[in-house]
Structure 1
Amino acid sequence: MKKIILAVILVAGFTAKAQTKSELLKHYEAYYDQMRLQGDINGVISAITHLNLLDPSKERKDTLAYIYTTDNQHLQALNTIGIEKNESDSDLGVQVKAISLKALNQPKRALEQFEILYKRTPNAYLAYELADLKIQTGDNDGAAANIEYGIANAKDDMKYAFYERQQPYEVSLKAALIHLKALVEFNKDQNNIDQALATIDEALKIDPNFNLASLSRQALQSRKDKKANAEATEQPKE
């Protein structure tokens, strides 16, 4: 008799627990929908965190990490899904790792993630990201190959955003790629500044308001002028 009573109590306990979990899931699903409706990022993060604790899934983790990334909480995003290179990761998961690692100034690790994305779906935007990171890590030949692909596949309506000014701005993706091409040319042959300047002028011809390209041009022109002045000073007087 005691065994029967104990069994009944255990069954009742499991049933109550199942009902409680089901109710909590419904509650946080409704809470998530409401927070999305209100545009409350912190509320959305809280809802997904609770849902993932109640019913863990890779998809929820990826979504949570993506929301952190879009809110510029890159460390939190990586703490959610990790930083390891994993070919089996979803596109969203790889994208989160790539963007957040780049934002946290980890170009080598970011490059690994962008390579996975590029292998899956090559496009001009990813070619730009790869070229930019390869320039930072000293792989100018690799960057040049990505730039060539990017320029060939960039459409006139494609834009790329820059944030070095207080007010973010967009320029032609093709102009952005040509600007990178100029940097690679300079890195490969720093004595031929004129070639790099001519290439930057190509980028500015496409997009005259390209602030970063203008800054690069000023830096290169200044370097050229200093070199010319130094050579003139070294010339023997007659």
Structure 2
Amino acid sequence: MKTITIAILMLFSVSMFAQTNTELKKHFEAYYTQMKKQGDKQGVINAMTHLNVIEPSVARKDTLAYIYLSEGQHMQALNTIGVEKNATDSDMNVEVKALALKNLNQTEMALEHFEVLYQRAPNAYLAYEMADMKIQTNDLAGARLNIDYAMANTTDDMKRAFYEKQQPYETSMKAALTYLKGLLKFTENKTANIDEALKLMNEALTIDPNFNLAKISREALEAQKAQRAQQAAAQKKG
């Protein structure tokens, strides 16, 4: 009799737990919808977190990580989905890992995930990002390949955003790639290639005279060239 009573109580508890979970799920689904309607991103994150606890799913985790990323919470995004490279990861999952790691200055780790995205669906924008990061990590041969691909697959109407100014701006993708070619050329040999790098910066500014980053880079190269000329003149006098 005691055994039967315990079994009945356990079944009752399971039934109550299932009912509670169903009610909670309905509540947080409604809460999620309302927070989304109000544009309350933190409310959306809270609702999605609760839903994932109640009924875990890979898709829900990926979405939660993407929302964290869109809010600039890069570490929280990575804590949600991890940093490991898995063949079964969705495109959204890989993109979140790539961008979050890049924004956290984990360039080499970010590149691993950018490579996965590029293998799945190569495009000029991805190639530009990868070339930029490869220059930073001194993979100059890899950067050159990415730039060549992007140049061959860029159209005149394509733009790229830049954020070094207080006010973000866009420039022609062809100008951006020409600037990147100049940066690569200078990185390959900072003494012998300065004139060629300057030429490429000027080409970028011919395409877009308002390209601020190319202006800054050209000024820096010109300053270096002038300083070397002064040093050479001083040595001759000495």
Fold shared, TM-score > 0.5 on shorter chain: yes
| Residues 128-207 of structure 1: pairs in structure 2 closer than 5 A | 128-190=128-190, 191-207=192-208
1:67 alignment counterpart: 67
The residue identity in structure 2 corresponding to 1:54 is I
Question: Please, which moves more after superposition, 113-122 or 174-183?
Answer: 174-183
TM-score of the two chains, using structure 1 as the length reference = 0.96
The residue identity in structure 2 corresponding to 1:209 is N
The residue identity in structure 1 corresponding to 2:183 is L
2:108 alignment counterpart: 108
**Separation (CA, whole Å) in 1 of partners of 2:76 and 2:178:** 34
| Residues 27-106 of structure 1: pairs in structure 2 closer than 5 A | 27-106=27-106
1:7 Cα shift?
A: 2.7
**Separation (CA, whole Å) in 2 of partners of 1:152 and 1:202:** 17
Q: Secondary structure at 1:88's aligned position in 2?
A: coil
**Separation (CA, whole Å) in 1 of partners of 2:3 and 2:234:** 103
1:85 Cα shift?
A: 2.1
What do residues 37-78 of structure 1 show as CA deviations (whole Å, max 9, x unaligned)? 111010000000000000111111111111111100111111
**Separation (CA, whole Å) in 1 of partners of 2:96 and 2:224:** 38
RMSD: 1.3
Q: Secondary structure at 2:6's aligned position in 1?
A: helix
Structure 2 residue ranges without an equivalent (≥5): none
TM-score of the two chains, using structure 2 as the length reference = 0.96
Question: Please, which moves more after superposition, 166-175 or 2-11?
Answer: 2-11
Q: Secondary structure at 1:200's aligned position in 2?
A: helix
| Residues 199-218 of structure 1: pairs in structure 2 closer than 5 A | 199-218=200-219
Question: Please, which moves more after superposition, 203-212 or 62-71?
Answer: 203-212
Q: Secondary structure at 2:223's aligned position in 1?
A: helix
Question: Please, which moves more after superposition, 224-233 or 89-98?
Answer: 224-233
Structure 1 residue ranges without an equivalent (≥5): none
**Separation (CA, whole Å) in 2 of partners of 1:220 and 1:2:** 88
Q: Secondary structure at 1:174's aligned position in 2?
A: helix
Moved over 4 A (4+): none
1:26 Cα shift?
A: 0.8
Aligned length: 237
Question: Please, which moves more after superposition, 166-175 or 117-126?
Answer: 166-175
1:6 Cα shift?
A: 3.0
Q: Secondary structure at 2:49's aligned position in 1?
A: helix
Q: Secondary structure at 1:105's aligned position in 2?
A: coil
Q: Secondary structure at 1:33's aligned position in 2?
A: helix
1:236 Cα shift?
A: 4.4
1:231 alignment counterpart: 232
